[in-house]
Chains A and B, each alone.
Chain A
């Protein structure tokens, strides 16, 4: 599903964020990416949806070789990848419904499909009853659920999340984790960078630990491994 071979990334300012990464993530897996601040987790994740390109090595996602992928084909790759951020990135002037529908409209889905699919997805994240509200009228956890709904509304094969619970309190974080688990149970691959020790140690999944741009640990049902 996601394969990296000998991948390195040196930013234009000379900082080497990742060096010689080799990884293979199968379809349907749930992977935590852990490590100290500045270790290279976000860099690792951004390369999967070709937000940044490696300076060395090859990456393939969903059978597509990203280094050979033409610039104008990147949108097609992105349609198979959902992305969730710490800061939600919702459009403040649009309602919950519109925020989720936006992701379908801009890839020119049929309006009939949009309505059905958006309501279905909002139901999955438990926000069907708040569809008409604006993001500013929601709690942080609810806003994150909207952003998750938006990331999965186009039924991607993989969802990539960079510290999705970073801004949330513990209780809310657990709710969000339950939603990710639910999505994963339906067959979607999940890659999640996180600093949340309790969650990693409780909801056991594969753990990839990065330190100083290198993978230092990769274990099934692993531990967080750091003091948080």
Chain B
């Protein structure tokens, strides 16, 4: 019956629910303001966080090709040992490829990369001091460091070197900010939800006589609940407006400035405004609505015993 009531809800009834939910918003004044502010702060952080993380991720993938672990094989290792080592590395999770590069090739590369100054190294062709190398690529470039450390502990490995400082730093920043951001955002999400559910609770208490009479005269449970869901929904949506506006316009105006700097110094491009910012706005709006509905659900379940 419940489902039928919802789908068959008459336009008139729906208008009534909307009217009632708006009445509560204005009647609750300060609590409405507090809830909306909490959602605003939360989503603002989520928005900024998203923009930064998505861009860092994107940078990470563009320089992914450069990220490899160079496993220097112990000179004492024979062919069998090398096969064994290759197999062991392959058994680690998250490995994309393993390429063998003998020391002759390594020296060639070194000489080439040094250009004119490399000539002098040609002397070493007789008695090559370099190691044979496995070049290992990981599926997720942020795993590079972790996997390199695991490889370093294996037998027949003299050392496992990875990336240049910059890349590692980027990944470090990426990981730390992701974790800190997530914890912060989850905490804020709960705060916002809690405030919304408290606002709804106040509405329920203020309307308990009305609710009592509605039950007495036979209003359905969904009829009684709808205005509270809507109130939560509005609180969430109202809270999403400022973050969407701020994040979109900030991205729009700062884009060129930051972009120019990044290209000049690092050949890195930011994610284009369109459609990224529109998608982000949709995500923020949906999150706001979800927080609101969730908050009111908690209150309705707890305080509206129908």
Q: Which residues of A line the B interface, CB within 8 A?
A: 49, 72-79, 83, 89, 91, 102-103, 105-108, 111, 150, 154
Contact of B216 among A72, A78, A111 (CB under 8 A): A78
Contact of A78 among B16, B215, B223 (CB under 8 A): B215
Contact (A107, B219) CB under 8 Å given A91-B210, A91-B213, A102-B213: yes
Summarize A's interface: helix, strand, loop or mixed.
helix
11 contacts between A and B (CB under 8 A): A72-B221, A76-B218, A77-B218, A78-B216, A78-B217, A79-B217, A79-B218, A91-B209, A91-B210, A106-B213, A108-B12
Per the bound structure, the CA–CA distance linking A82 and B93 in Å amounts to 70
Contacts of B2 on A, CB cut-off 8 Å?
72
Cross-chain contact B213 with A111 (CB below 8 angstroms): no
**Which 10 pairs between the two chains have the least Cβ-Cβ distance?**
A78-B218, A79-B218, A106-B219, A75-B218, A103-B217, A106-B214, A75-B220, A72-B1, A108-B13, A83-B216
Does B212 sit at the interface, judged by CB under 8 A? Answer: yes
Contacts of B215 on A, CB cut-off 8 Å?
75, 78
Does B117 sit at the interface, judged by CB under 8 A? Answer: no
Per the bound structure, the CA–CA distance linking A93 and B65 in Å amounts to 70
Which partner residue on chain A sits nearest B224 by CB separation?
A: A106
Contacts of A83 on B, CB cut-off 8 Å?
216
Does B10 sit at the interface, judged by CB under 8 A? Answer: yes
Q: Which residues of B line the A interface, CB within 8 A?
A: 1-2, 10, 12-13, 16, 209-210, 212-221, 223
Per the bound structure, the CA–CA distance linking A107 and B214 in Å amounts to 8
A-B contact count (CB 8 A): 52
Which partner residue on chain A sits nearest B212 by CB separation?
A: A89
Contact (A105, B213) CB under 8 Å given A72-B220, A79-B218: no
Cross-chain contact A89 with B213 (CB below 8 angstroms): yes
Which partner residue on chain A sits nearest B207 by CB separation?
A: A91
Most buried by B among A76, A83, A106, A150: A106
Per the bound structure, the CA–CA distance linking A72 and B12 in Å amounts to 22
Which partner residue on chain A sits nearest B214 by CB separation?
A: A106
- New contact pairs (20) apart from A72-B1, A75-B218, A102-B217, CB-CB < 8 Å: A72-B2, A73-B1, A74-B218, A75-B215, A75-B220, A78-B217, A83-B216, A89-B209, A89-B212, A89-B213, A91-B209, A91-B210, A91-B213, A102-B210, A106-B214, A106-B217, A106-B223, A108-B10, A150-B213, A154-B217
Contacts of A78 on B, CB cut-off 8 Å?
215-218
Per the bound structure, the CA–CA distance linking A102 and B10 in Å amounts to 17
Per the bound structure, the CA–CA distance linking A150 and B210 in Å amounts to 13
Contacts of A79 on B, CB cut-off 8 Å?
217-218
Per the bound structure, the CA–CA distance linking A79 and B1 in Å amounts to 15
Contacts of A154 on B, CB cut-off 8 Å?
217-218
Q: How far is the CB of B248 from chain A (nearest CB, A)?
A: 41
Per the bound structure, the CA–CA distance linking A149 and B167 in Å amounts to 78
Per the bound structure, the CA–CA distance linking A89 and B209 in Å amounts to 7
Q: How far is the CB of A154 from chain B (nearest CB, A)?
A: 7
Contacts of A75 on B, CB cut-off 8 Å?
215, 218-221
Cross-chain contact A105 with B16 (CB below 8 angstroms): yes
Which partner residue on chain A sits nearest B10 by CB separation?
A: A108
Contact (A111, B12) CB under 8 Å given A78-B216, A103-B213: yes
Q: How far is the CB of A12 from chain B (nearest CB, A)?
A: 15
Q: How far is the CB of B282 from chain A (nearest CB, A)?
A: 34
Contacts of B1 on A, CB cut-off 8 Å?
72-73
Per the bound structure, the CA–CA distance linking A73 and B219 in Å amounts to 10
Q: How far is the CB of B69 from chain A (nearest CB, A)?
A: 62
Q: How far is the CB of B281 from chain A (nearest CB, A)?
A: 36
Per the bound structure, the CA–CA distance linking A78 and B220 in Å amounts to 10
Per the bound structure, the CA–CA distance linking A77 and B218 in Å amounts to 7
Per the bound structure, the CA–CA distance linking A136 and B212 in Å amounts to 20
Cross-chain contact A107 with B221 (CB below 8 angstroms): no
Contact (A150, B217) CB under 8 Å given A72-B1, A72-B2, A108-B10: yes
Contacts of B223 on A, CB cut-off 8 Å?
106-108
